Amino acid sequence: MLEAKEEKTRKQAINIKNLINLVKKMLIKILAIGKINNSPYKEIFDLYYKRVKWNIIIKELEIKASSKKISEKIIIEKEEKLLLENIPNDYIVIGLDLNGQNISTEVFSKIINNYREDSAKICFIIGGASGFGQKIKKRANHIIAFGKITLPHLMARCVLIEQIYRSFTIATNHPYHSGH
């Protein structure tokens, strides 16, 4: 009986150690054009942000183009410059774009968790309404889409944070993700 309790305690300690290792190795940064403050989307974003209970640091940097009365080409160039200035050189870059590769939740989770295992840092970028310029596309390691539907930028952030949360529940065998 005592041996069974010791074995259970040992397994629990190993599980705790594995979970600590799982959460220590990840840094996620989110760069997005626009503001989420004073928006109904903020509540949804915050809900999932708080659910990510692991020691994952998610940084959201809000960037805004200076004027909406300029050409789309100029807007793309300004936004691209602002985004590129804020992407650290040692980060894996994943751009979210309507024309990106459609992937499943499971593939999204595998991408994130493969980088986590390599102790890589990930920077997600969400461009403005005009999309990404060529420099962003060249810098990105992945350009992905959350389907072929067009999402408002703030809703895309909510979907992103929920998918980040879901990815880690998959990695830890949490029942939140049922595989459907």
Q: What is the pLDDT of residues 73-121, one digit of tens each?
A: 888 888 888 899 889 899 999 999 888 999 999 999 999 989 888 888 8
Which pLDDT band, with edges at 50, 70 and 90, does 164 fall under? Answer: very high
The string of pLDDT tens digits covering residues 140-161 is 999 999 988 888 888 999 999 9
The two three-digit tokens of residue 126, written as one number: 């969400």
Starting at the earlier edge strand, list the strands of the sheet with 27-33: 57-63, 27-33, 121-126, 91-102, 142-145
Whole-number Å distance between alpha carbons of 149 and 134:
22
Domain layout of the chain by residue ranges: 26-171
* Residue 103 DSSP label: -
Which pLDDT band, with edges at 50, 70 and 90, does 2 fall under? Answer: low
pLDDT at 10: 65
The two three-digit tokens of residue 163, written as one number: 């998918």
pLDDT at 14: 56
pLDDT at 107: 94
Residue 15 reports pLDDT greater than 60: no
Helix or strand run (H / E) with residue 102: strand 91-102
Count CA within 13 A, CB hemisphere, residue 143.
15
pLDDT at 132: 87
Question: Which of 128, 106, 124, 119 has its CA nearest to residue 33?
Answer: 128
CB 167 within 8 A of CB 109: yes
Bridge partners of residue 57, in order along the sequence: 27
CB 126 within 8 A of CB 30: yes
Distances (CA, A) of 15 to 1, 11, 83, 146: 21, 6, 39, 33
pLDDT at 69: 73
Residue predicted with more confidence, 122 or 12: 122
Distances (CA, A) of 96 to 109, 140, 153, 175: 15, 10, 10, 27
The string of pLDDT tens digits covering residues 33-71 is 877 778 889 999 989 988 886 556 666 666 554 555 778
26-171 CATH pick, 3.40.50.2300, 3.40.50.40, 3.40.640.10, 3.40.1280.10: 3.40.1280.10
